[in-house]
């Protein structure tokens, strides 16, 4: 299916691109949000970052055809290095940053990338094809305890131990090399009475392995302070997450940076001298409307949080 940018109207509302000059789309993908930012402000420039060079090449060609390429810089890299990427582009502070943590439909629909169990493909799951760690290595070389921790922590899968045992049993005779083979092993481990819902378990395990392969949660933790530092006063940070652990990391970072003091409650006076650096714009996460979810079911788990840097 064609890629549909998630929560597009809400991104434009909270990013407020008509105010400001320079913006960053830190996971540019197919460029749906980037295009909307450029079209909302004819003088805006957007720096688009993505690990996937194939996506960047395709987007670059499209932007040339659409007459938007002069106001867009596309950079292959990891958003966790946003500070170095901005420095290399000779950009100082920016007026808004978007971080959409979902992966592109182009990636999930490409069986050769191994993100989905909808079709046969290699166990890859890398956003960056130059990365050494693949899903195949996670599945076939991780010790049982480490693999269980990945599936339990990142997939929040209650049958993690049973699934890991089934993987270990399969590994005794052969390596697991394809998406469908892994899906079958997972399904076999799910108790028979609930096996009719095994696709949910398979989806959670695939998600957990993808997060591990791409260090997604560690990258998010590393980049949030850098993004805050990269904003001009009044600049906005908009983050779309698709996983409860991602959303929790963003929520806790926003809450911490929105406080003036983080001393323990028992302290009689403040000794940390902390001053709030963010104003939270979304009291609760923004989710897709019924109409958007009907048009694009992949938007259902999306949660948007936004904050503005204080002067």
Find out if CATH 1.10.150.170 is the number for domain 132-213: yes
Tell me whether domains 8-106+216-309 and 132-213 share a fold: no
Q: How far is CA 271 from CA 40, 257, 263, 268, 310, in A?
A: 44, 16, 7, 9, 21
Half-sphere exposure of 94 (CA within 13 A, CB side): 31
More confident residue, 156 or 128: 156
| pLDDT reported for residue 107 | 65
The neighbour count for residue 206, using CB atoms within 10 Å, is 24
Check whether 127 has a pLDDT greater than 70: yes
Mean pLDDT of 235-241: 97
| pLDDT reported for residue 211 | 94
Helix axes of 198-213 and 179-189: crossing angle, nearest 10 degrees:
130
| pLDDT reported for residue 204 | 95
Q: Where are the beta strands (DSSP E) in 261-302?
A: 278-280
Q: Are 70 and 94 in contact (CB under 8 A)?
A: no
| pLDDT reported for residue 271 | 80
Check whether 216 has a pLDDT greater than 70: yes
For 244, phi then psi, to 5°, come to: -60, -35
Burial of 33 (0-12, 13-18, 19+ CB in 10 A): buried
Q: Which helix (H) or strand (E) holds 34?
A: helix 32-40
Average pLDDT taken over every residue of the chain? 93
Domain boundaries, the chain: 8-106+216-309, 132-213
The whole-model pTM stands at: 0.89
Class of domain 8-106+216-309 as given by CATH: alpha beta
What is the per-residue pLDDT across 78-115, written as a single tens digit (0 to 9) for each?
A: 999 999 999 999 999 999 999 999 876 666 667 878 88
Angle at CA of residue 152, ends 147 and 154, nearest 5°: 90
For 280, phi then psi, to 5°, come to: -75, 130
Burial of 174 (0-12, 13-18, 19+ CB in 10 A): exposed
């Amino acid at each position: 299916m064609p890629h549909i940018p998630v929560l597009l109207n809400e991104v434009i509302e909270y990013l407020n691109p008509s105010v400001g000059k320079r913006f960053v789309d830190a996971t540019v993908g197919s460029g749906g949000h980037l295009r909307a930012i450029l079209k909302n402000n004819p003088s805006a420039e957007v720096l688009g970052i993505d690990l996937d060079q194939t996506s960047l090449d395709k987007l670059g060609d499209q932007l040339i055809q659409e007459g938007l390429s002069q106001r867009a810089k596309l950079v292959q890299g990891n958003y966790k290095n946003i500070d170095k990427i901005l420095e290399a582009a000779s950009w100082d502070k920016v007026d808004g940053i978007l971080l959409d943590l979902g992966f592109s439909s182009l990636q999930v629909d490409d069986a050769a990338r191994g993100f989905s169990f909808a079709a046969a493909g290699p166990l890859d799951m890398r956003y960056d094809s130059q990365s050494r760690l693949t899903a195949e290595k996670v599945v076939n070389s991780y010790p049982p305890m480490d693999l269980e921790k990945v599936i339990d922590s990142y997939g929040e899968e209650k049958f993690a131990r049973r699934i890991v045992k089934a993987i270990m049993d399969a590994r005794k005779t052969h390596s697991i090399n394809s998406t469908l083979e892994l899906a079958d092993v997972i399904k076999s481990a799910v108790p028979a009475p609930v096996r009719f819902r095994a696709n949910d378990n398979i989806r959670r395990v695939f998600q957990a392995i993808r997060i591990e392969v791409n260090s997604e949660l560690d990258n998010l933790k590393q980049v949030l302070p850098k993004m805050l530092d990269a904003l001009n006063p009044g600049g906005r940070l908009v983050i779309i997450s698709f996983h409860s652990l991602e959303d929790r990391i963003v929520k806790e970072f926003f809450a911490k940076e929105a406080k003036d003091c983080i001393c323990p409650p028992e302290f009689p006076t403040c000794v940390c001298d902390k001053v709030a650096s963010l104003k939270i714009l979304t009291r609760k996460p923004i989710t897709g409307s019924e109409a958007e979810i009907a048009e694009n079911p992949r938007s259902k788990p999306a949660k948007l949080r936004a904050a503005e840097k204080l002067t």
